[in-house]
Structure 1
Amino acid sequence: MTGIRTTCAYCGVGCGIVATRQGERGVTIRGDADHPANAGRLCSKGTHLGETTGLEGRLLHPMIGDRRAGWDKALDLVARRFRETIAAHGPNSVALYVSGQLLTEDYYVANKLMKGFIGSGNIDTNSRLCMSSAVAGHLRAFGEDVVPASYDDLDEADLIVLVGSNTAWCHPVVYQRIQAARAARGTKLVVIDPRRTETAEEADLHLAIRPGSDVALMNGLLAHCRREGLTDDATLDVPDGFWTALDADGDLWTTARTCDVAPADLHRFFELFAATPRTVTLFSQGINQSIRGTDQVNAILNLHLATGRIGRPGAAPFSITGQPNAMGGREVGGLASTLAAHMDFAPDNVARVGRFWAAPQMATKPGLKAVDLFRAVEQGRIKALWIMATNPAVSMPDAGRVRAALADCPFVVVSDVMETTDTGLHADVRLPAAAWGEKDGTVTNSDRTISRQRAVLPLPGEVKPDWWIVAQVAARMGWADAFAYRHPADIWREHARLTAYQNDGARVLNLKAHAAIGNEAYDALAPFRWGGRPFADGRFSTPDGRARLVPVRQIALAEPLRGWPMTLNTGRYRDQWHTMTRTGLSPKLARHREEPLVEVHPDDAATLGLTDGGLARVATPQGDSLFRVTIATGQRPGELFVPIHWTDRQSTGGRAGLLPRPLADPHSGQPGFKNTPARIEPVVPAWRGFLVTRDAAAALPDCLWATRVTVPGGALFELAGDGDPAALERTLPKGDRIEAQDPAKGTRRVAILRDGRVAAVLFVTRSGLLPARDWLIAQLDHATPGPALLAGRAPGTVVDHGPIVCACFDVGLKTIVTAIAGQRLVSVAAIGEALGAGTNCGSCRPALARLIATTTLTETADAASR
Structure 2
Amino acid sequence: MSEWVPTTCMRCAVGCGHLHQSPDLGVGIDVARGDVSHPVNRGLACSRGIEESQDPDGDWLTKPMVRRDGELVRTTWDVALNTALEALRDAHESDPDAVGILGSGQQTNEAAYLLGKLARGGFGTRYYDANTTLCMASAVTAYYQAFGSDAPPCSYDDISGADRHVVWGANPAVAHPVMFRWIKQDADEDGTELIAVDPVRSETAENSDHHVSLAPGKDLALARAVLARLVETDRIDEAFIEQATDGFDELLASLPDAETARREAEVSEADLELLAEALEEDALIYWGMGINQHVQGTETARGLIDLCLATGNLTPGSGPFSLTGQANSMGTRVCSSKGTWPGHRPFGDPNERQFVADEWGVPVDRLPDDTGPGPVEMLDAVDDDLDVIWAVATNPVVGMPQADLATERLEDAFVIAQDAFHTETTELADVVLPAATWGESEGTAINMERTVSRVRAATEAPSSVRTDLDIVATIGNRLFPELIETPRPEPAAVFEEFAALTEGTPADCSGISYERLEDDLAVRWPAPTEDSAGGYRYYEAADPGATDGSTDGAVTDGGTASPSWEFPTATGNAQFSTGRQGDLPEPTDEEYPLTLTTAREEDGYNTGIRSRPVDDPGRVVARIHPETVEAHGDLVTENTVTVASRRASATVEIDRDEGVPEGMVWLPIHHPATNRLTLPDCDPQSDEPHFKQCAVRFEQPQN
Report if aligned partners of 1:146, 1:508 keep a CA contact under 8 Å in 2.
Answer: no
Map 1:443-482; keep pairs closer than 5 Å: 443-480=445-482, 482=484
* Structure 2 partner of 1:198: 203
Report if aligned partners of 1:397, 1:671 keep a CA contact under 8 Å in 2.
Answer: yes
What are the Cα deviations for residues 378-430 of structure 1, in whole angstroms up to 9, with x where unaligned? x2410011000111001100110111111111x21111112x32111221111
Secondary structure of 1:551 counterpart: coil
Report if aligned partners of 2:645, 2:697 keep a CA contact under 8 Å in 1.
Answer: yes
* Structure 1 partner of 2:3: 2
Secondary structure of 1:393 counterpart: helix
Report if aligned partners of 1:236, 1:549 keep a CA contact under 8 Å in 2.
Answer: no
* Structure 2 partner of 1:266: 272
Distance across 2 between alignment mates of 1:457 and 1:185:
46
Matched, 1:489 2:497: no
What are the Cα deviations for residues 419-464 of structure 1, in whole angstroms up to 9, with x where unaligned? x321112211111111121011111111111111110110103211
Structure 1 residues 585 and 437: alpha-carbon distance in aligned structure 2, compared to 1, 3 A threshold: farther
Secondary structure of 1:294 counterpart: helix
Aligned length: 654
Report if aligned partners of 1:599, 1:632 keep a CA contact under 8 Å in 2.
Answer: yes
Structure 1 residues 612 and 155: alpha-carbon distance in aligned structure 2, compared to 1, 3 A threshold: farther
* Structure 2 partner of 1:700: none
Distance across 2 between alignment mates of 1:682 and 1:614:
11
1:569 is matched by which residue type in structure 2? T
Distance across 1 between alignment mates of 2:53 and 2:103:
25
* Structure 2 partner of 1:417: 420
Distance across 2 between alignment mates of 1:200 and 1:44:
21
| Matching residue within 590, 598, 602 for 1:570 | 598
Secondary structure of 1:153 counterpart: helix
By how many angstroms is 1:176 displaced?
Answer: 0.7
Structure 1 residues 383 and 190: alpha-carbon distance in aligned structure 2, compared to 1, 3 A threshold: same
1:182 is matched by which residue type in structure 2? A
1:478 is matched by which residue type in structure 2? F
Distance across 2 between alignment mates of 1:34 and 1:564:
54
Secondary structure of 1:367 counterpart: coil
By how many angstroms is 1:236 displaced?
Answer: 4.2
Distance across 1 between alignment mates of 2:218 and 2:640:
31
Structure 1 residues 480 and 667: alpha-carbon distance in aligned structure 2, compared to 1, 3 A threshold: same
Report if aligned partners of 1:124, 1:370 keep a CA contact under 8 Å in 2.
Answer: yes
Report if aligned partners of 2:29, 2:458 keep a CA contact under 8 Å in 1.
Answer: no
Distance across 1 between alignment mates of 2:637 and 2:188:
37
Report if aligned partners of 1:79, 1:474 keep a CA contact under 8 Å in 2.
Answer: no
Distance across 2 between alignment mates of 1:508 and 1:235:
22
1:621 is matched by which residue type in structure 2? R
* Structure 1 partner of 2:304: 300
| Matching residue within 616, 631, 637 for 2:656 | 631
Map 1:165-204; keep pairs closer than 5 Å: 165-204=170-209
Matched, 1:539 2:566: yes
* Structure 2 partner of 1:386: 390
Structure 1 residues 226 and 415: alpha-carbon distance in aligned structure 2, compared to 1, 3 A threshold: same
Higher relative contact order (CA 8 A, sep 6+): 2
* Structure 2 partner of 1:130: 135
Distance across 1 between alignment mates of 2:467 and 2:630:
53
Report if aligned partners of 2:248, 2:576 keep a CA contact under 8 Å in 1.
Answer: no
Structure 1 residues 396 and 481: alpha-carbon distance in aligned structure 2, compared to 1, 3 A threshold: closer
Matched, 1:509 2:515: no
* Structure 2 partner of 1:435: 437
By how many angstroms is 1:207 displaced?
Answer: 0.9
Map 1:595-744; keep pairs closer than 5 Å: 596-609=620-633, 614-647=639-672, 655-683=673-701, 704=703
Structure 1 residues 146 and 645: alpha-carbon distance in aligned structure 2, compared to 1, 3 A threshold: closer
Structure 1 residues 381 and 359: alpha-carbon distance in aligned structure 2, compared to 1, 3 A threshold: same
| Matching residue within 246, 250, 257 for 2:257 | 250
Distance across 2 between alignment mates of 1:75 and 1:185:
61
By how many angstroms is 1:486 displaced?
Answer: 2.4
Map 1:855-866; keep pairs closer than 5 Å: none
Secondary structure of 2:500 counterpart: helix
Distance across 1 between alignment mates of 2:396 and 2:583:
32
Larger radius of gyration: 1
What are the Cα deviations for residues 720-764 of structure 1, in whole angstroms up to 9, with x where unaligned? xxxxxxxxxxxxxxxxxxxxxxxxxxxxxxxxxxxxxxxxxxxxx
* Structure 2 partner of 1:104: 109
Distance across 1 between alignment mates of 2:580 and 2:643:
32
Structure 1 residues 60 and 50: alpha-carbon distance in aligned structure 2, compared to 1, 3 A threshold: same
Distance across 1 between alignment mates of 2:295 and 2:4:
45
* Structure 1 partner of 2:45: 42
Distance across 2 between alignment mates of 1:315 and 1:30:
31
TM score, norm. by length of structure 2: 0.89
1:545 is matched by which residue type in structure 2? G
Name structure 2 gaps, 5 residues minimum.
527-533, 541-564
Report if aligned partners of 1:223, 1:246 keep a CA contact under 8 Å in 2.
Answer: no
By how many angstroms is 1:611 displaced?
Answer: 5.8
Secondary structure of 2:497 counterpart: helix
Map 1:830-849; keep pairs closer than 5 Å: none
By how many angstroms is 1:612 displaced?
Answer: 9.8
* Structure 1 partner of 2:14: 13
Secondary structure of 1:579 counterpart: helix
What are the Cα deviations for residues 73-121 of structure 1, in whole angstroms up to 9, with x where unaligned? 3323322322221222x11111101111111111000100111122123
* Structure 2 partner of 1:67: 73
Distance across 2 between alignment mates of 1:613 and 1:46:
35
Report if aligned partners of 1:29, 1:49 keep a CA contact under 8 Å in 2.
Answer: no
By how many angstroms is 1:520 displaced?
Answer: 5.4
Of the structure 1 ranges 604-613 and 535-544, higher mean CA displacement relative to structure 2 is found in 604-613
Distance across 1 between alignment mates of 2:206 and 2:517:
44
Report if aligned partners of 1:393, 1:402 keep a CA contact under 8 Å in 2.
Answer: yes
By how many angstroms is 1:234 displaced?
Answer: 1.7
By how many angstroms is 1:616 displaced?
Answer: 1.0
Report if aligned partners of 2:435, 2:466 keep a CA contact under 8 Å in 1.
Answer: yes
Report if aligned partners of 2:441, 2:456 keep a CA contact under 8 Å in 1.
Answer: yes
Matched, 1:282 2:306: no
**Sequence identity of aligned pairs in percent?**
33
Secondary structure of 2:242 counterpart: coil
Distance across 2 between alignment mates of 1:260 and 1:13:
33
By how many angstroms is 1:597 displaced?
Answer: 1.1
Report if aligned partners of 1:612, 1:630 keep a CA contact under 8 Å in 2.
Answer: no
